[in-house]
Structure 1
Amino acid sequence: MSAENAGLAVRERAALGEGPTWDAAAGRLIWVDILSARIHTYDPVSGNRTVMATEQHVGAAKPRAGGGLVVNLQGGIGLYDADLAFSWLVRDPAAGRRGNDAAVAPDGALWAGTMRYDEAPGGGNLRRVAPDGVVTEVLGEVSVSNGTGWSPDGRLMYYVDTPTRRIDVFDVEGERALNRRPLVRIEDGAGFPDGLTVDAGGGIWVALWDGAALRRYTSEGVLDRVVELPVRRPTACAFGGAGLRDLYITTARVGLGSSPPPLSGSLLVLRDAGQGLPGTPFAG
């Protein structure tokens, strides 16, 4: 298997770049810098960028169906309307805990993860947040809730709790995820699984924190592609751009000392990587 290489999309010095998401309505990529409390956007056609500060650490930002964003914050789930006026949808602060990665399910609900700042085992969870703000805990006692995605037919959900070194798979029945079992185990020395995305062929792409790579696994858990990266800490990936053919990759500088690899914290891209799935905006 030959390795592929990604290039630079946006040079940035994000402390903890995360959560890339293609906003089809606006033709732009959205991602966050969690620890700098910033939401970034990038239009790959014009090159235009925006950066917006949030009042709390922001684990994820996703488009809303009516415009604006839903955000997974330190103290709960917030909403920005199309004019960027802010309101709380769910307010549930907990000392030492913050929001982390999140994803919008095919039915328009937000599945939002949390974790403790000290990454204490079992200190976080994964919750389903309905458009009306009703919260259902899907998983408790999670350590570092990360990548979440669904198969093209919506019948399976993939999930990463990073310290387990696994990608797990669930059966989806209505609003529930059932029958958790391991699909992929990342071997020692290859890094830790972080954010993920699912492509139109059902393949699961996962960023390997401390592994300097992305990997694609088939829906049967077979490794079939490796993308080597010029950074040590990739965090997540998402398809975007014309035809959803380009794979964008967020990266981090945090914890790498005063001289990390030069592109650490930048947004990278693998051109013509495959075919992404259209995203679903949050219905609230």
Structure 2
Amino acid sequence: MIGLWNVPYLANAYLINSTLLKKYDRKQLNFDKPNLDADMALCSNLRELDVFMYVSNRVDFGHLVNPDTYDITRAEPDMYQIFENEGDWEERYINKDYPDIFKPGQEDKQPCPDVYWFPIVSTKFNKALINMMESFGKWSTGKNEDDRLEGGYEAVPTRDIHMNQVGWERHWLYFLQKYVRPLVEKVFLGYAHDPPRSLMNFVVRYRPDEQPSLRPHHDSSTYTINIALNQVGVDYEGGGCRFIRYNCSVVDTKPGWILIHPGRLTHYHEGLLVTKGTRYIMISFVDP
């Protein structure tokens, strides 16, 4: 509901017309009254002067943010504000075209069988996530031995950094719940796991002189999500994902777009060769 309401009290934040300050002296209009805090004292004094107070949501005057958990020691402190300042976070980091996905009659993009493609995050998100990882800098070796995992072994290793290494696991799981799960429910009718479960959430870095590609494999997931974080033809050349059973490849990836595909059984796939530059992707194995 949008409107204008006459109210007896206001607190924390308000606008006062400057003509009011000129009309009354400080003895009449002030923040001082016995047994009342400053806000309530002002409201009481205004009522005694027959000055009306209003609450309006007809105009956006701005909003307050919660600074309590803002950590300037982080490489990208705004990325960690998804809980405390969710509105600002969403405006900054969610792709502006994301809401259009759910409009009636909107056709889902399907570059390969049962592989779906949607805009989900913004350019700011992509740059911030890459900076978070590069600032942390402790990329895995790309070898099978990996002490970050239970059992210490990775069957199909990549050069990567896990979300929990940069303190963003909890934030990412919330992202899966709020923004990814509705997409999954839309394209895989009848499947819903609320909330999504994911133990493997990480950013992969492909380079010709490090790990340029990834051998054919299945993922340990019911479905996998893959978000391109930078631009093919600009930041790197080559790369992409080939689904072997269908002989179908997605190579013209778009930054901030998410690929969603089944992880086990049908979608045996490989990471195609990066021939130049650095390719970054965000991977999550959901509902293992």
Classify the TM-score, shorter chain: under 0.3
Of Structure 1 and Structure 2, the greater helix share is in 2
Of Structure 1 and Structure 2, the greater strand share is in 1
Higher relative contact order (CA 8 A, sep 6+): 1
Q: Give TM-score, length-normalised by structure 1.
A: 0.22
